[in-house]
Structure 1
């Protein structure tokens, strides 16, 4: 295990132990930066153009279901996306052996950045289910 991985694991453990939302937001910020580095928001540009005719949440859900190969449904307070993965797709998840569930906060930041850009306004994202937290899929809720 590299010193960098040990440092990350120590940091994740300290953040988890602190239970301080401001401290946890640092991991979320890392996810936002990852989205930017990987041009994830740019990848949504064409889909965002297609969404200009969407007026309701149901319109967005229909558009997303037509264009993204995941299960998407509307719920009272947002949109649920079952990402249909077989394992966590975080590039560092396989290197982390403890407190890996905190990486889901990074994913939350990534998804907030992408979907805030798509909807043209700040949105919040909840991690409903994840592999790193004992689930069978990665499921997010976009609160929009």
Structure 2
């Protein structure tokens, strides 16, 4: 896709400003405002969820992106974290745990039901969302095709959260995903980052 509008061709920035906003509503809604199924219907995101047609449109778009340059698509989708983050008012929650990673991890376990393994020596955090279904509110109930790109928005969202808590860049990777055929969604978080994410 071209960087600029040329003869009716949609520019990448404009396209993903609109398409990416829908994609960014990744499967991370939960009791504290994000990341979990329990409070999905009570979250601001649920109230503003796209209509069924938009959900089907996103479900059609993702496999097409996956069939192309997947890494390029990953970079762009990871960068779409902000509308969801801001829409849920996540900054207020994160500000309570700045500089307190152990406290934040306890919060994730107690309030969001996550299973957390933390190696302070290695600077690694392994997280299991501990849910057998994808909780993404823009995902149609019935869908087919490769929709795994949607999980990259979760990477960007989680990087924002954890980098704010630890006060330094982190790197998040979704290592397992329900949309990719796994039993639950899992994250690997590197808090001793050597190569920061371009997003």
Instruction: Give the TM-score range, shorter chain.
Output: 0.7 to 0.9
**Deviation readout 1:74-132 (Å, 9 max, x if unpaired):** 24352111122232221112357133222111211211121122222221111111111
Residue 136 of structure 1 aligns with which residue? 183
TM-score (norm 1): 0.76
Matched, 1:66 2:66: no
Give the secondary structure class of the aligned counterpart of 1:127: strand
Shift of 1:142: 0.9
Number of matched residues? 134
Counting helix residues as a fraction of each chain, which structure ranks higher?
1
Change (3 A) 1:7 1:126: same
Counting strand residues as a fraction of each chain, which structure ranks higher?
1
Query: Which ranges in structure 1 are unaligned for 5 or more consecutive residues?
Result: 52-59
Q: Any conservation in 1 of the 2:162–2:170 contact (CA below 8 Å)?
A: yes
TM-score (norm 2): 0.57
**Deviation readout 1:8-67 (Å, 9 max, x if unpaired):** 233312321123423322211223331122122322221225x1xxxxxxxx3x434433
Counterpart-to-counterpart distance in 2, 1:85 and 1:20? 26
Pair member with larger Rg: 2
Query: Which ranges in structure 2 are unaligned for 5 or more consecutive residues?
Result: 1-50, 192-199
Q: Which has the higher contact order (CA 8 A, sep 6+)?
A: 1
Matched, 1:27 2:77: yes
